[in-house]
Amino acid sequence: MENQENNNQFLGEEKISKLLLKFSIPCILSLLISSLYNIVDQIFIGHSSLNYLGNAATGVVYPITIIAVAFAWCFGDGAAAYLSLCQGRGDTKNAHQAIGNSILVTFIISIIFLILGFIFEDQLLYLFGASAKSINLAKDYYAIILTAIPIYMLGNSMNAVIRADGSPKFSMASTAIGAIINIILDPIFIFVFNLGIKGAAYATAIGEIATLIVSIIYYTRTKTFKLQLASFKFNFRIFKNVIKLGISTFITQMSIVIISLVCNLMLAKYGSLSKYGADIPIAVIGITMKVFSIVINIIVGIILGAQPILGYNYGAKNIKRVKETYRKVVFVSIIVGIISTIIFELCPSVIIRIFGSSEALYMEFATLTFRLFLMLVTLTCLIKLTSIFFQAVGEPLKSAIVSLTRDIIFFVPLVIILPRFLGIKGVLIASPIADILGIIVTIFLTWHFFNKISQNVEANSKNVYLQKSHPGVIITIARTHGSQGKAIGELIAQKLKIPYYYKEMTALAAKECGLDQEFVSNINRNKDPLHELYLTTSPVKYAILAQEKIIKKIALEGSCVIIGRAADYVLKDNPNLVKIFIYAPLDYRINNIMHMYNDSEELAKKNIQKSDKNRASYYEMISGNTWGEKENYDLCIDSSIGKEKTAEIICDYLQKISK
């Protein structure tokens, strides 16, 4: 914990530019290495006799591989996030099961994907833009890539867990090894062995095999978990959490598929009506998107590196440092965007020739695409970084809105509507228009966010201190909303003449780690619809660690009553612990809420449902157990008999078990 405190101080005090260099450069390098897989095939294919038709064929197959990786990253990122939560709570039981289940389901889905992929081969390839000229090449490439899909999916899924296990460099190395092998084998297979597009596919598949082998080797020497046969026994309760934690990644990847599908369909349709034909536009857009991904990966690397800085300082309500970090990231991103735009506008042919083909029509359309489609790439960068910024400060819903409005709400309809009036140029112009509309939404949400949060918040916990006590029972009380658990806990503390901790606990936690008390207090009451994702964000993790530390300190002082905060799980190894759960019928709780907060009956019911759901999510994320399940407590009691009577019964129970 001392190392954690030093790291927190480092994040809160060190020069931001220095922190960004420290954290962002490894992220950028890792993402750029990943980009190589998507680019090298097209470079070598473009310089072969296959020319742009080969690139059109790979461009048709690319969205299908994105669907596969969407599932792989969903399960992998979900398992990685679950591992991080297990690490925080010292849970060695559930972590390996989550990872084993993730591998098992990834493998099963990959086999289903492979079978369906071959059954619907023609339909899928034509759906994603294959033409009569490119279909045979697409089939050759597709057959090999699809056969390697289980390897590809398992490698990607396992890599995410390796990063979460505290080995990001190893994760980067496994990806790098696969990319390097791909780069080496591409020219050998394509030119020396004269395998053409099949050679590119074989090179990619072998690179993926190498990545998977390296990942498997790591799994024999993991740091925080050990896989065993029991790890692969499916556990729905655990895997449900994996899905919840990985679903945002899945949605993001599937939005890419939707964009690629619609874009390819429109390019094929309107390209065939133009002088360029269907294949040139498909080939060019594939290259354009992959060049564009290099720029975006640089931006993503910068903002991912900024996440721990933003997370800690937002939790500490050091808004000045949050703003400064955001401004610096925005400034760097604008510079990267402007440089990219200058290159794309003034000398697109330099980039285009890297991917081969100098045919006049091809060069004409490629130049047009780079200049129109990527015209406002700077705005795209700002939209992407702001989406990840919102994740870092615990706002997953805003993050999803920023990302999806630009890509799905604006771009997809525009790319369908505009070509009806502008022909194939309408497809290209859809991108900058979507950028303009997307940045308007982004600016509004960013302004609203910074306007909402306090400018100079000071933790209001300066006068709070640990209360002295005496050896004895430590009572933790979990309760349903409206069951009067807080009041009952306070009565128990008064009767037993021992300290009572509720808001005092969060104030002490805030004081301990430099976070803001209100922020710490609200982490299990957050009303974000993506509450499970909110609980995995950086600032919340800092708050949870602070709470756990202070709960253990409180227990060391002696007998006391602690309300909520999964204290029963945090203190599970304490021999003096008594765990109590207080509940009551819904009508009783509704009446209490109406009386306490002046709510209407409908609003009271709604707040009870929301509060109980959030408490359950919080408890399950912290402990891995089910909130309110009687097996997790020493005593469960219905408080509808009245708070005084309930407190008396609990005190009698404590007296009996202490004899």
Helices of type H across 316-418: 319-346, 348-354, 360-373, 377-392, 396-404, 412-417
Candidates 471, 498, 492; CA nearest to 582 is: 492
Q: What is the pLDDT of residues 366-389, one digit of tens each?
A: 999 999 999 999 999 999 999 888
Query: Dihedral angle at the C-alpha atoms of 505, 506, 511, 516, nearest 10 degrees?
Result: -170
Q: Residue 532 has which token pair? A: 């499970």
Name the band, by pLDDT with cuts 50, 70 and 90, for residue 1: very low
What is the number of other CB atoms lying within 10 angstroms of the CB of residue 76?
Answer: 30
Assigned token pair, 180 = 């390097």
Tokens describing residue 399: 């993050």
Which tens digit of pLDDT belongs to each residue from 277-313?
A: 989 999 999 889 889 989 998 998 888 888 778 877 7
Q: How many C-beta atoms lie closer than 10 Å to residue 18's C-beta?
A: 10
What gap in Å lies between CA 440 and CA 406, rounded to an integer? 10
Domains of the chain: 1-34+274-457 (no CATH), 48-261 (no CATH), 474-658 (3.40.50.300)
306, 325, 579, 646 from 22: Cα distances, Å: 10, 14, 44, 55
- 224 in Cβ contact with 89 (< 8 Å): no
408: DSSP letter: I
Residue 608: band (very low, low, confident or very high) from pLDDT cuts 50, 70, 90? very high
Q: Would you say 376 and 295 are in contact if contact means Cβ atoms under 8 Å apart? A: no
Q: What is residue 432's predicted lDDT score, i.e. its pLDDT? A: 96
For the entire predicted model, the pTM comes to 0.75
What gap in Å lies between CA 496 and CA 654, rounded to an integer?
10
Asked if the model's pLDDT at residue 134 lies above 50, the reply is yes
**pLDDT value at position 5?**
46
Instruction: Give the model confidence (pLDDT) of 17-59 as tens digits.
Output: 888 888 788 778 877 877 776 688 888 888 888 888 888 898 8
Rounded average pLDDT over 341-370: 90
Distance from the Cα of residue 484 to its chain's centroid:
36
Task: Find, among 458, 636, 466, 648, the residue nearest to 555 by Cα.
Answer: 466
Give the Cβ contact number of residue 7 at 10 Å: 13
Give the pLDDT confidence of 154-164 residue by residue, as tens digits: 999 998 899 88
Give me the phi and psi of 456, to 5 degrees please.
-135, 70
Mention every residue, 6+ apart, whose C-beta is less than 8 A from residue 580: 475, 476, 477, 478, 633, 634, 635, 636, 637, 650
CB 548 within 8 A of CB 540: no
* pLDDT (0 to 100) of residue 215: 94
For range 239-262, the mean pLDDT: 83
Distance CA 283, CA 346 (A): 21
